[in-house]
């Protein structure tokens, strides 16, 4: 059915990537082209025009999950990514969580986990960026962490249940105070971690992640102690299950269609 301006009514309007930054009335996020894997995006956290210190966070994926702010996690307009505010956590219980859901299970599927990170300096050996785990890494665990207090300071590590290290980066330090784009990709039985467009770790593993009952948490883990909570600004987080995305550093916000 045609609307007053000749467009289709009932269809969300898309914009060509040649004119980034334009957005339409009633759209929450800036539209910068379309995502060919949109149907596989199970979580998209990406601040847009929220006010400084806001504690309201929105899952822009088609799932529209309820995201819970824990501690003092908040919007920070002083540090931006593509002209948009970031999420600030201070490492003392500041996390964002999404409830347990079957749609968040990794199992043996291809997947791509991506985030923009600008970390602060911390004295803990390990800090958690995102995962579904408790502090003991029991059933169904997966967690992406950054090392700090050793010769491998600044490395990114992916762990699975029973404290099993899947892979770890080398030759890069993401705790240097600069912004970094981190991408974890599973393609069949091959796992890769890419940082700023360069592959920093690869391994072959036929791992099947168990079903988890833990919430998905950003900047921390489930449990009473915040001893692995991260202090950082995060620009965006996207989890895509069923697709191994190419190793490409975004030049604008993640598409929301």
CATH of residue 61's domain is 2.60.120.200
| Residue 93 belongs to some domain of the structure | yes
**What residues make up the domain containing 82?**
38-241
Distance in angstroms (rounded) separating the CA atoms of residues 220 and 132? 9
**257: β partners:** none
- pLDDT of 103 reads 97
| Residue 257 belongs to some domain of the structure | no
| Residue 4 belongs to some domain of the structure | no
Smallest Cα–Cα separation from 164: which of 127, 201, 138?
138
- pLDDT of 149 reads 64
Cβ atoms within 10 Å of 6's Cβ, excluding its own: 6
- pLDDT of 148 reads 75
- pLDDT of 228 reads 85
DSSP 98-115: E---GGG--TT--EEEEE
| Residue 22 belongs to some domain of the structure | no
Q: How confident is the model at residue 129 (pLDDT cuts 50, 70, 90)?
A: very high
- pLDDT of 151 reads 67
Residue with the larger pLDDT of the pair 152 and 22: 152
Segment 51-105, tens digit of pLDDT: 999 999 999 999 999 999 999 999 999 999 999 999 999 988 899 999 999 999 9
| Residue 1 belongs to some domain of the structure | no
Segment 109-123, tens digit of pLDDT: 999 999 999 877 666
Q: Give the Cα-Cα-Cα angle 177, 178, 179 (nearest 5 degrees).
A: 130
Cβ atoms within 10 Å of 129's Cβ, excluding its own: 25
Average pLDDT on 29-49 reads: 86
Number of domains the chain contains? 1
Give the three-class secondary structure for 51: coil
What does the mean pLDDT of the chain come to? 85
| Residue 97 belongs to some domain of the structure | yes
pTM: 0.86
| Residue 107 belongs to some domain of the structure | yes
Contact status, residue 46 vs residue 254, Cβ threshold 8 Å: yes
| Residue 60 belongs to some domain of the structure | yes
């Amino acid at each position: 059915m045609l609307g007053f301006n000749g467009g289709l009514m009932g269809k969300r309007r898309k914009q060509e990537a040649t004119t980034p930054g334009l957005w339409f009335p009633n759209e929450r996020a800036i539209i910068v082209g379309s995502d060919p894997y949109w149907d596989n995006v199970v979580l998209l956290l990406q601040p847009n025009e929220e006010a400084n210190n806001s504690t309201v966070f929105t899952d822009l994926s088609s799932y529209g999950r309820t995201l819970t702010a824990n501690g003092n996690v908040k919007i920070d307009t002083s540090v931006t990514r593509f002209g948009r505010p970031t999420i600030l956590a201070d490492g003392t219980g500041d996390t964002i969580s999404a409830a347990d859901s079957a749609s968040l299970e990794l199992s043996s599927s291809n997947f791509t986990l991506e985030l923009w990170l600008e970390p602060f300096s911390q004295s803990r050996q390990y800090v958690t960026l995102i995962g579904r785990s408790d502090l003991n890494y029991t059933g169904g665990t997966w967690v992406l962490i950054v090392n700090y207090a050793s010769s491998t300071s600044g490395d990114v590590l992916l762990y699975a249940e029973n404290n099993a290290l899947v892979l770890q980066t080398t030759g890069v330090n993401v705790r240097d105070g600069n912004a970094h784009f981190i991408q974890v990709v599973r393609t069949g039985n091959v796992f890769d971690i890419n940082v700023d467009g360069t592959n920093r770790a690869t391994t072959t593993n036929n791992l099947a992640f168990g079903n988890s009952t833990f919430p998905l948490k950003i900047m921390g883990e489930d449990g009473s102690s915040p001893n692995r909570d991260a202090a950082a600004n995060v620009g965006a987080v996207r989890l895509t299950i069923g697709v191994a995305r190419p190793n490409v550093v975004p030049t604008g916000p993640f598409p929301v269609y």
